[in-house]
């Protein structure tokens, strides 16, 4: 069970996740008007509650910045490679700023699992799993050879709302954290 002093951060996170999921499904985007205020709320709120270094009950600015970095930097690399949109990366930055690095790792793990299941479902429904997996294997093969690997996606490649997957994964991690589930306590030590 998370400390009661972090209830405000989890409340803000819940609102942000719902709004991001709705806009990602409806418009295919996660807007800066949602992610930037969430990042600011995390940084400012944790600084006010725990100072620069944090306390046992609050992350502090350093904990919020660490969470922001853990959420944003890996997603920035994936965005730069063309795998996701910038809003998805900024959403994970907001998750990190609000909840810290441990929760952010759990949320990413769950979100990537949900995204993989969504992608597999789309490939199976469209009957393109074999062709898509062949392109991915070819990409991985070329990645490890001296030639420059190309993007395995084509113009006809299906896409999934990755932000929705991250929202579902974060919500799953939040429920797990709230009830002290196995992921929080055993896998990640939080």
**pLDDT reported for residue 151:** 54
Angle 120-126-131 from CA coordinates, rounded to 5°: 75
Q: How confident is the model at residue 115 (pLDDT cuts 50, 70, 90)?
A: confident
Residue 58 falls in which region: left (phi positive, over 0), alpha (psi -120 to 50) or beta: beta
Q: Per-residue confidence at 30, pLDDT binned at 50, 70, 90?
A: very high
Selected residue with higher pLDDT from 187 and 46: 46
H-only helix segments in the chain? 7-26, 32-50, 60-80, 86-99, 101-126, 129-143, 162-178, 182
pLDDT tens readout for residues 145-167: 766 555 555 566 667 788 888 88
Range with the poorest average pLDDT among 16-25, 37-46, 169-178: 169-178
What pLDDT score was predicted for residue 64?
93
Q: How confident is the model at residue 79 (pLDDT cuts 50, 70, 90)?
A: confident
Calculate the average pLDDT of the chain.
82
Nearest to residue 95, comparing CAs of 173, 175, 186, 183? 173
State CA 54 to chain mean position distance.
23
Query: What pLDDT, on a 0 to 100 scale, did the predictor assign at position 94?
Result: 96
Residue 137: pLDDT above 90?
Answer: no
- pLDDT for residue 40: 96
pLDDT beyond 70 at 183: no
Q: Is 52 exposed, middle or buried (0-12, 13-18, 19+ CB in 10 A)?
A: exposed
Torsion of CA 75, 107, 171, 38, to 10 degrees: -50
Is the four-CA dihedral 117, 74, 68, 103 of positive or negative sign? positive
Chain centroid to CA 93: 8
Three-state DSSP class for residue 11 = helix
The C-alpha atoms of residue 125 and residue 119 are separated, in whole angstroms, by 10
| pLDDT surpassing 90 at residue 51 | no
Crossing angle of helices 86-99 and 32-50, in 10° steps, is 20
Q: And the tokens for 126?
A: 């469209």
Tally of CA atoms within 13 A in the half-sphere of 65 that contains its CB:
9
């Amino acid at each position: 069970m998370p400390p009661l002093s972090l209830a405000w951060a989890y409340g803000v996170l819940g609102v942000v996740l719902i709004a991001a999921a709705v806009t990602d499904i409806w418009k295919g985007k996660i807007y800066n008007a949602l992610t930037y205020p969430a990042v600011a709320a995390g940084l400012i709120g944790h600084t006010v509650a725990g100072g620069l270094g944090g306390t046992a009950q609050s992350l502090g600015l350093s904990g919020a910045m660490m969470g922001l970095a853990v959420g944003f930097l890996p997603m920035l690399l994936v965005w730069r490679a063309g795998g996701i949109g910038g809003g998805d990366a900024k959403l994970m930055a907001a998750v990190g700023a609000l909840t810290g690095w441990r929760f952010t790792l759990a949320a990413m793990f769950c979100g990537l699992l949900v995204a993989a299941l969504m992608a597999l479902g789309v490939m199976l429904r469209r009957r393109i799993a074999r062709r898509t997996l062949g392109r991915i294997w070819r990409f991985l093969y070329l990645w490890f050879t001296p030639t420059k690997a190309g993007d395995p996606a084509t113009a006809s490649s299906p896409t999934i709302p990755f932000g929705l997957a991250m929202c579902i994964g974060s919500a799953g991690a939040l429920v797990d954290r709230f009830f002290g589930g196995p992921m929080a306590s055993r896998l990640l030590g939080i």
